[in-house]
Structure 1
């Protein structure tokens, strides 16, 4: 079946086949205007008693009997093997926000691949939500109201510089790079303000910071698509 773009004026919940916190995911699905699955993530959605609006991937992780349970037009098969199922799904979603469950944890290689996709598709605002952590590509400017003492980590996916307020260890003047300086285990001391020069910095927070992050992202400028 030819793949098409999923359009939504509200947030989309995207489900992968990795580790999910069931209660959090079920709550998100019940409130979602649009549910999309990446290949085997459709099984998780079905097990929670819901039907995804679309399933993207090569379908090598979704059993034929489960595929048969889906209404016509839901499966959006993409056979190429040069990208992950997460990438296949994310690049076919047009939405102001994607909340992605099932892409952090369980397998390190899958987590690293998902973070790479976040950076590659930085124009598609997407928050990865795991059992313990949440992650997003830091927008050009971001303001966060987080409790003092909250862990805030910054990990570069490429060379990047930025500025900060409200962190125990300011990042101003630091040249970040994956094989050089990284910014893990920083700490919130006051209202946080972050500015980034490029869409290369992954912001990692505890899952408890999700509401504060979504509030900050709602007011933040977006990165343009990469050339």
Structure 2
């Protein structure tokens, strides 16, 4: 699998799912380059923007929209073993990825997007939803949350960890799909979570998008400097 060379330090990835009226503008403040996942290009064009890059098998992008995008920005990936979101994530490098159009609309697409976050857990990616943002928990993270912010933890693999700043600490708990999950916990203020292995998806209020994004970006930058 070949990486597509790019010089985008922060990328907004646009999918073809539900997108709110302010999603694109909010994402672009944090990640000003636009990469569309296949049919997400139609969303970008409808907003009066031109994607910097389109990646996918193009089965969701009609000929009219395709003709509006310069050919050198179109990157066809024909294999059918991954979703268009995964095709994007596995071919770009960035210090921050903000995904819109991946939560909401179709439940199977939402589940696939969360699965991609867990599979590609090394990537600094946060998904913007109508009410929450979703991201994979790294081995250690500190978030400047406010008291009573809802913090939900959903395991996509067996995993354990520790926490500070949660109303119900996770220390000593064994999480796993089909077993214990951690929905509807609450912050008592700033939260620190340490995970012993990959596989935990976190959801926090949408209002904390900027904080989550900056935290993930800082971790990615620190990793690059090592």
Partner Cα separation in structure 2 for residue 193 and residue 49 of structure 1:
40
CA shift at 1:10, angstroms? Answer: 2.0
Does the Cα contact within 8 Å between 1:3 and 1:77 map onto a contact in 2?
no
Aligned length: 222
Q: 1:188 to 1:87 in 2, by over 3 A?
A: same
Aligned to 1:42: 41
Map 1:60-209 to 2 at 5 A.
60-209=59-208
CA shift at 1:31, angstroms? Answer: 6.4
Cα distance per residue 1:118-164 (max 9 Å; x no partner)? 11111111101111111000011101111100000000010000000
CA shift at 1:30, angstroms? Answer: 6.4
Does the Cα contact within 8 Å between 2:150 and 2:205 map onto a contact in 1?
yes
Partner SS, residue 22 of structure 1: coil
Partner Cα separation in structure 2 for residue 176 and residue 31 of structure 1:
32
Partner Cα separation in structure 2 for residue 13 and residue 29 of structure 1:
6
Question: Structure 1 residues 19-28 or 90-99, which shifts more?
Answer: 19-28
Does the Cα contact within 8 Å between 1:19 and 1:102 map onto a contact in 2?
yes
TM-score using structure 1 length: 0.92
Q: 1:106 to 1:6 in 2, by over 3 A?
A: farther
> 5+ residue gaps in structure 1?
none
Does the Cα contact within 8 Å between 2:8 and 2:33 map onto a contact in 1?
no
CA shift at 1:6, angstroms? Answer: 4.2
Partner Cα separation in structure 2 for residue 4 and residue 219 of structure 1:
23
Cα distance per residue 1:194-215 (max 9 Å; x no partner)? 0011120001011111122123
CA shift at 1:190, angstroms? Answer: 2.5
Q: 1:128 to 1:88 in 2, by over 3 A?
A: same
Aligned to 1:11: 10
Partner Cα separation in structure 1 for residue 47 and residue 134 of structure 2:
24
Partner Cα separation in structure 2 for residue 31 and residue 167 of structure 1:
27
Partner Cα separation in structure 2 for residue 6 and residue 129 of structure 1:
25
What RMSD over aligned residues (CA atoms) do the two structures have, in Å?
1.9
Cα distance per residue 1:69-113 (max 9 Å; x no partner)? 101211111111111000001111100110000000111100000
> 5+ residue gaps in structure 2?
none
Q: 1:52 to 1:144 in 2, by over 3 A?
A: same
TM-score using structure 2 length: 0.92
Q: 1:27 to 1:169 in 2, by over 3 A?
A: closer
